[in-house]
């Protein structure tokens, strides 16, 4: 969306007022009225179209902005379709039920939520994808929470926290690679520098989940669900093959779309060869989702999910949110704010704080983590040069306030996807997504105090 800028930008006050109006309308309808995000986002689009027409933009120009904005999310949209297929095929092959079975065996003792956070964090680092982690291991743990009658928002908070720890720290993650690439910092230097904020956030999050974990041993309560899983006949040694295939494709750095597609096909073939379902029904589940059969109603409900059809709610919001973002750029609202922010920065402290708040603001207004990283990185590179800060400080702040904020925004790409896959609204799991909340707080504190910030001269000395 960088190229979607008018020749003449509106004033700063006017831009802030319009952005605040749009966000206030969206927030009121989602939080106050309790509607799905679709309606308020569409209302926000109509407000911006009206504003654009008043400012003498042609409708064709505004429509072009919406189309370009929506087009920027097509890669994510196609990935969502494949993830829907992945969930359905992994259910049919018994991969997710097998993961659930292992999860049941791990969750009979203490520190349940802390263990879930740690396991999803390790999985996230290994896979390099928060979406894949949430759609596989995350779905399994949500099933555990449902079966044990535990708090779904806390469980979802643990899953989201772990998944985005992995998304942030994995060298396989697209956001990690994007943040280092956009500001021209070595990938592993970027990851190493992130430990200053990431490790404290991890430790604090782990401790918080220890305190929130249930005290009572829940093993007896899990027996009916473990029996129900066994009765489905889905769990088999071959159920682990799709997971192995996914790990191999991830380690060899294959594109996420290819990795998930091949894994889904592998799982479907395994289910078909084993006779889990007829071939026609198997491929039908790619669209409509997998329907489990079990004597345990709760197990049946847990396992009946997935399919492309189940992703349409998510995809429609993503398209609307990105169209809204396209209008914010076409009308000059966000470019005007970014330009004015740049003009007032003179110190390392102000540069770090402005970077963090800009990345957070773009996440909230546009709902797209890639744009928050890309736009903020492009806007602040020169500022970091002028203030004498090493660029790895910029790439770290982009991740601390860009990558991990997206799942906390109800109308964002990550927020909509996670709420759909985990079945927990964003505003319900948000207070418990401790890692995602702590990362920007720590980076802002360090930016304000100047602690852990590396000067450009120090960075060159380390390199030599």
- pLDDT tens per residue, range 318-331: 788 778 878 888 89
Q: Which residues pair with 386 in a beta bridge?
A: none
pLDDT of residue 217: 56
Distances (CA, A) of 433 to 161, 407, 428, 436, 439: 5, 9, 10, 6, 11
Residue (of 362, 320, 316, 326) closest to 62 by Cα position: 326
User: Are the CB atoms for 462 and 194 separated by under 8 Å?
Assistant: no
Instruction: Return d(Cα 61, Cα 4) in angstroms, integer.
Output: 10
Instruction: Return d(Cα 107, Cα 216) in angstroms, integer.
Output: 11
Question: What residues contact 409, with CB distance under 8 A and at least 6 apart?
Answer: 363, 364, 367, 415, 426
Confidence grade of residue 461 (pLDDT, cut at 50, 70, 90): very low
**Burial zone of 82 (CB within 10 Å; 0-12 exposed, 13-18 middle, 19+ buried):** buried
Instruction: Return d(Cα 388, Cα 180) in angstroms, integer.
Output: 18
Confidence grade of residue 51 (pLDDT, cut at 50, 70, 90): very high
Lowest mean pLDDT among 83-92, 220-229, 399-408: 220-229
**pLDDT tens-place string over residues 262-272:** 999 999 999 99
């Amino acid at each position: 969306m960088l190229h979607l800028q008018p020749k003449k930008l509106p004033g700063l006050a006017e831009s802030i007022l319009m952005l605040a109006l749009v966000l206030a309308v969206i927030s009121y309808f989602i939080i106050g009225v309790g509607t799905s995000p679709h309606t308020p986002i569409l209302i926000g689009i109509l407000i911006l179209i009206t504003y654009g027409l008043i400012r003498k933009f042609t409708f064709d120009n505004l429509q072009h902005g919406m189309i370009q904005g929506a087009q920027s999310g097509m890669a994510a949209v196609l990935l969502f379709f494949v993830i829907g297929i992945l969930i359905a095929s992994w259910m049919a092959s018994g991969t997710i039920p097998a993961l659930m079975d292992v999860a049941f065996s791990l969750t009979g003792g203490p520190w349940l939520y802390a263990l879930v956070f740690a396991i999803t964090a390790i999985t996230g680092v290994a896979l390099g994808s928060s979406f894949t982690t949430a759609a596989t291991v995350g779905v399994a743990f949500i099933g555990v929470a449902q079966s044990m009658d535990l708090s779904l928002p806390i469980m979802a908070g643990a899953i989201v926290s772990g998944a985005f720890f992995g998304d942030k720290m994995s060298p396989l993650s697209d956001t990690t690679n994007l943040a280092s690439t956009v500001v021209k910092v070595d990938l592993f230097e970027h990851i190493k520098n992130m430990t200053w904020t990431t490790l404290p956030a991890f430790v604090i999050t782990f401790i918080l989940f220890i305190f929130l974990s249930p005290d009572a041993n829940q093993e007896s309560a899990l027996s009916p669900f473990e029996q129900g899983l066994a009765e489905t006949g889905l769990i088999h040694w071959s159920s682990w093959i799709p997971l192995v295939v996914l790990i191999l494709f991830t380690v060899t750095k294959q594109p996420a779309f290819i990795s998930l597609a091949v894994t889904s096909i592998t799982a479907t073939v395994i289910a078909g060869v084993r006779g889990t379902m007829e071939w026609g029904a198997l491929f039908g589940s790619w669209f409509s989702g997998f329907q489990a059969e079990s004597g345990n109603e709760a197990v049946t409900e847990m396992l009946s999910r997935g399919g492309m059809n189940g992703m349409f709610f998510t995809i429609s919001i993503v398209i609307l949110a990105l169209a809204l973002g396209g209008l914010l750029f076409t009308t000059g609202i966000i470019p005007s704010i970014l330009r004015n922010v740049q003009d007032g920065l003179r110190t390392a402290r102000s540069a770090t704080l402005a970077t963090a708040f800009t990345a957070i603001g773009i996440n909230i207004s546009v709902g797209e983590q890639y744009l928050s990283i890309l736009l903020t990185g492009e806007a602040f590179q020169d500022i970091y040069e002028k203030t004498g800060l090493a660029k790895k400080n910029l790439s770290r702040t982009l991740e601390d306030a860009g990558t991990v904020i997206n799942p906390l925004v109800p109308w964002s790409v990550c927020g909509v996807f996670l709420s759909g896959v985990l079945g927990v609204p964003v505003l319900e799991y948000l207070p418990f997504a401790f890692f995602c909340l702590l990362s920007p707080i720590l980076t802002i504190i360090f930016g304000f105090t100047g602690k852990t910030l590396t000067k450009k001269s120090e960075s060159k000395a380390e390199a030599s």
